């Protein structure tokens, strides 16, 4: 793997386009409204700040945002956007990287907690966040509920999408709680394949990680609009509070 991890210059250049639905106002505005309420008058720490999908509009709302991002290519695109200079970004692995000062809010969106490939790394992430948070500060995570209910017995593949030039699928390994998202694209110059590994995590497992880090669950919703989290929810937005 290169120094930018799985998000090198080529991937970064196409990131906003390939995730266009996540950059639409309907996806961004509710998240920013939600996070602004927890930031209050304090600072926000984004783990995996990417190209600034959330950091930039949150900054425009008057919330000082500091990002941690492994991919220098993604950070370069963030800083090239209008208002990008207002968002300071530290290069590093967000599970371990420390930045100066304390924050009223830390957040991980769009399933980014799953980029940490071991349970220990995810536990370490919670502890690192707790060290950054002020007492009473909030840690917010948006992440999918593992889609194991879609797997027939003996199967490991969940299709994501397919069209004449692109198709994608997730491959699960329930024994190790790992999965990979796999993408195939056919262009005039040929075919390309990309695979990104993840470690999926359950809501109750995240609650235990928070407890180990000195936090407790404050809220859990099905989405940024605060719809109830139920047995049928496909993702959750969870908020943990630092106790002291």
Mean pLDDT of 106-131: 98
Percent of the chain with pLDDT over 90: 93
Across the beta sheet with 215-221, the strand order is 88-91, 65-69, 44-47, 103-108, 133-144, 235-242, 215-221
pLDDT digit string, tens, across residues 28-53? 999 999 999 999 999 999 999 999 99
When pLDDT is cut at 50, 70 and 90, the band that residue 74 belongs to is very high
> Does the model's pTM come out above 0.85?
yes
When pLDDT is cut at 50, 70 and 90, the band that residue 126 belongs to is very high
Please give the domain boundaries of the chain with CATH numbers for all domains.
Answer: 9-145+201-242 (3.40.50.150), 148-196 (no CATH)
Give the integer Cα–Cα distance in Å for 208 and 196.
26
pLDDT of 4 reads 74
pLDDT digit string, tens, across residues 158-176? 999 999 999 999 999 999 9
pLDDT of 2 reads 56
Mean pLDDT of 119-133: 98
When pLDDT is cut at 50, 70 and 90, the band that residue 10 belongs to is confident
Give the integer Cα–Cα distance in Å for 119 and 122.
5
pLDDT of 108 reads 98
Q: Answer yes or no: are the C-beta atoms of 81 and 52 closer than 8 Å.
A: yes
Percent of the chain with pLDDT over 70: 99
Across the beta sheet with 178-187, the strand order is 157-162, 166-173, 178-187, 190-199
Examine the pLDDT at 140 and tell me if it is beyond 90: yes
Counting other chains too, the contacts that 110-115 makes at CB distance below 8 Å and 24 or more residues apart are: 110/22, 110/53, 110/142, 111/142, 111/143, 111/144, 111/198, 111/235, 112/47, 112/48, 112/143, 113/141, 113/143, 113/201, 113/206, 114/143, 114/144, 114/179, 114/198, 114/199, 114/200, 114/201, 115/48, 115/198
Quickly count: other Cβ atoms within 10 Å of residue 208's Cβ. Answer: 12
pLDDT of 89 reads 98
pLDDT of 25 reads 97
pLDDT of 244 reads 85
Residue with tokens 């304090």: 42
Q: Cα–chain-centroid distance for residue 64?
A: 19
Mean pLDDT of 137-160: 96
């Amino acid at each position: 793997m290169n120094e930018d991890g799985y998000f090198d210059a080529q991937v970064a250049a196409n990131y906003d386009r390939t995730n266009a639905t996540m950059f639409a106002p309907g996806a961004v505005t509710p998240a920013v409204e939600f996070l602004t309420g927890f930031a209050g008058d304090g600072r926000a720490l984004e783990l995996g700040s990417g190209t600034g999908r959330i950091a930039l509009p949150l900054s425009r709302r008057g919330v000082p945002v500091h990002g941690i991002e492994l991919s220098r290519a993604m950070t370069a695109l963030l800083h090239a956007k209008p208002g990008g200079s207002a968002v300071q970004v530290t290069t590093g692995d967000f599970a371990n990287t420390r930045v100066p000062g304390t924050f009223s809010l830390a957040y991980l969106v769009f399933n980014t907690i799953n980029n940490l490939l071991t349970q220990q790394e995810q536990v370490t992430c919670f502890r690192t966040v707790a060290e950054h948070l002020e007492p009473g500060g909030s840690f917010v995570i948006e992440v999918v509920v593992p889609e194991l209910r879609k797997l027939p017995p003996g199967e490991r593949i969940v299709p994501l999408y397919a069209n004449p030039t692109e198709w994608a699928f997730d491959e699960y390994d329930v024994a190790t709680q790992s999965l990979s998202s796999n993408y195939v694209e056919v262009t005039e110059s040929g075919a390309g394949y990309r695979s990104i590994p993840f470690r999926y995590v359950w809501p109750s497992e995240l609650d235990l990680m928070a407890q180990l880090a000195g936090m407790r669950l404050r809220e859990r919703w099905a989405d940024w609009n605060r719809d109830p989290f139920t047995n049928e929810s496909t993702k959750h937005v969870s908020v943990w509070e630092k106790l002291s």
